[in-house]
Amino acid sequence: MTDRYERVRYEAATVALREEAKGVREEGAQNRGPEIDKYLERSHAPKSAGYNWCGFFVYYCYSEAAQAFSAPLPFKAGEVWSGTKLKKWAANNPAHVVGSGPYMPGDIYVMNWGHIGMIISHNGGNVVNTVDGNQSQMGKGKSLKQRTRDINDMAVIIRIVDTGEPGYGWIG
């Protein structure tokens, strides 16, 4: 059986890399900037609250990918606002939880301390390449950043797959 979400996952990873290549970083007020505000708006987050924006970035990437392929997302925007909320969503949707590798482009993870990001590639072993939002740049504000991460530092890894259940849509 073909997974209709395979193309969506790869497109979400492509969107993440495209956004990172723009050099997106905070400007002015903490957790704000033109591109970051775009992520907040898509996620229906209040711009005045100063939220960490890592989950908003992941939702933005997935909503762009879902629109490109007319595919509904299985989660609402608010369900990826924080690591705590996303872990709760994963616990309620175990068909989307990845138990072991290989890890695929577009897999979403929550670090043990709650940070949310997206896997871009995995070459085996415990290390994955990621794109993460809300990452420190040594006193230069926070930005999008490619990183390498150890899967042992991740609380949960999620893969959007076709479970046959209806999704919520990409605007959520």
Number of domains in the chain: 1
Tell me the per-residue pLDDT of 131-148, one tens digit each, with 9 for 90 and over: 998 876 545 557 888 999
The answer as to whether 148 is a domain residue is yes
Tell me the per-residue pLDDT of 3-59, one tens digit each, with 9 for 90 and over: 779 999 999 999 999 999 998 888 876 778 888 889 989 988 877 767 788 999 999
Q: Is 6 helix (H, G, I), strand (E, B) or coil?
A: helix
Maximum Cα interatomic distance, the chain, rounded to a whole number of Å = 49
pTM: 0.91
The answer as to whether 169 is a domain residue is no
The answer as to whether 170 is a domain residue is no
134 Cα distance to chain centroid: 12
The answer as to whether 97 is a domain residue is yes
The answer as to whether 168 is a domain residue is no
Structure tokens belonging to residue 25: 């970083």
The answer as to whether 167 is a domain residue is no
Encode 41-64: b = buried (16+ Cβ within 10 Å), e = exposed.
ebbebeeeeebbbbbbbbbbbbbb
The answer as to whether 163 is a domain residue is no
Other beta carbons within 10 Å of 161 = 17
Tell me the per-residue pLDDT of 76-103, one tens digit each, with 9 for 90 and over: 888 888 999 999 999 999 999 999 999 9
Average pLDDT for residues 67-72, to the nearest whole number?
91
DSSP symbols for 64-89: HHHHHTT---SS-GGGGSSHHHHHHH
Cβ 55 vs Cβ 79: under 8 Å: no
Domain that holds residue 41: 6-158
The answer as to whether 90 is a domain residue is yes
**Per DSSP, what are the bridge partners of residue 128?**
122, 149
